Chain A
Amino acid sequence: MKGMTLIVKKTTQLIGGMIFMYGIYVIVHGHLTPGGGFAGGVIIAGSMILVTLAYGGDFMKLIREEAGTTIVESLATLMVVFIATSGFFFGTRIFFNNFLPKGIVGHLISAGVLPLYNIFVGTEVAASIFIIFLSLIIYKEESSQ
């Protein structure tokens, strides 16, 4: 897949990292401000789609990227299930138990396991949307060959 012009590439260099950092901010502050895993994950996927569209990429490189992203997505989903199951072994024996100390409401490190759920769900959503985009590009490249 071919990249775009020099203007688009320079603009992407300037704002791509900032969009990525904003996605991480939305995910990490999900238990304090509006937003959370789903919104932040889609923002991160948007920044990666922006970079891929602006710079293009080799066919083989895209396929490698897709394989890595698939592994990340599966691991993140497994981690969500793992945290939910590990609540079973502490305190009241129920699924989705909030077993870590709650802390002070309003601090960054508080709310027990909720920030961990936010982080892993955000990773999973970002990887899922990026995989859908990559597989569309790879299908086009393959069918044009």
Chain B
Amino acid sequence: MELAISIITGLMILGALYAIHAKDLLSSVIACGIVGYSLVICFLLLGAPDLAIVQIVVDTITLIIMVAVVLDSSREELYSKQDLQGYISAFTGLVLVLVLLYFFTVSIQSLDLLGKGSLRMAEYYIEGASQKTGSANLVTGVVFDFRGYDTLGEAVVLVTAVLGVLTILRIKGKK
């Protein structure tokens, strides 16, 4: 399973790199779709169907809206020039990658395997959660009972996002 996840993660990295460097905006949006749908397969392999359902539906709708927006705007890249700033950015990126790799190799030795170690709080959630909350689905029990404040915050974040969209996308108020 680790091999499959490694291959899919490599595919995601390739898709993300292509999305940055594509000349046409439409192919860039579709390359973003590669990242999202590969993430769905990763979630399914790691045993998280709740996350996989949300991710696949949200990714599809985001892709539809992005394609509709891209088809209505100027798709081609207008100007591209290579100057000193590009080389400086590439050099800074390389240095950052090396520094992060060093800290990764140092910190990976004290970590547990993926999905093996669990926190004290998580053990309390898992033990008899269906008796405490009455819900057969553990995720819903955690999301709406133990972590109710978080869910309320997520709902409020969505409302705020809608308010922002409604404020920006209007023509009458601008005149």
Contacts and interface: CB of A to CB of B under 8 A. Distances in A.
A105 B162 contact: no
Interface string B140-170: 1101110011011011101101100110011
Contacts of B58: 42
A46 B155 contact: no
Interface in A58-104: 70, 73-74, 77, 80-81, 84, 95-96, 98, 102-103
A84 B141 CA distance: 15
B50 A35 contact: yes
A90 B49 CA distance: 34
Interface stretch (B8-16, B19-27, B85-93, B131-139): B131-139
Contact of A105 (B49, B134, B170, B171): B134
Interface residues of B, number: 42
Interface stretch (B34-42, B60-68, B74-82): B60-68
Contacts of A138: 169
A8 interface: no
A52 B159 CA distance: 22
B159 A77 contact: yes
Given A73-B162, A80-B155, A96-B145, A110 B134 contact: yes
Contact of B65 (A43, A114, A136): A136
A111 B145 CA distance: 10
B131 to A, nearest CB: 7
B169 A135 contact: yes
Nearest to A66: B166
Interface of A: 26, 30-36, 38-39, 42-43, 45-46, 49, 70, 73-74, 77, 80-81, 84, 95-96, 98, 102-103, 105-106, 110-112, 114, 117-118, 121, 124-125, 128-129, 131-133, 135-136, 138-140, 142-143
29 contacts: A31-B140, A31-B141, A32-B137, A39-B50, A42-B57, A73-B162, A77-B155, A77-B156, A80-B152, A96-B145, A98-B145, A110-B134, A111-B135, A111-B140, A112-B133, A114-B140, A114-B141, A114-B144, A117-B144, A124-B158, A125-B155, A128-B161, A132-B162, A133-B65, A136-B65, A136-B68, A136-B169, A140-B72, A142-B171
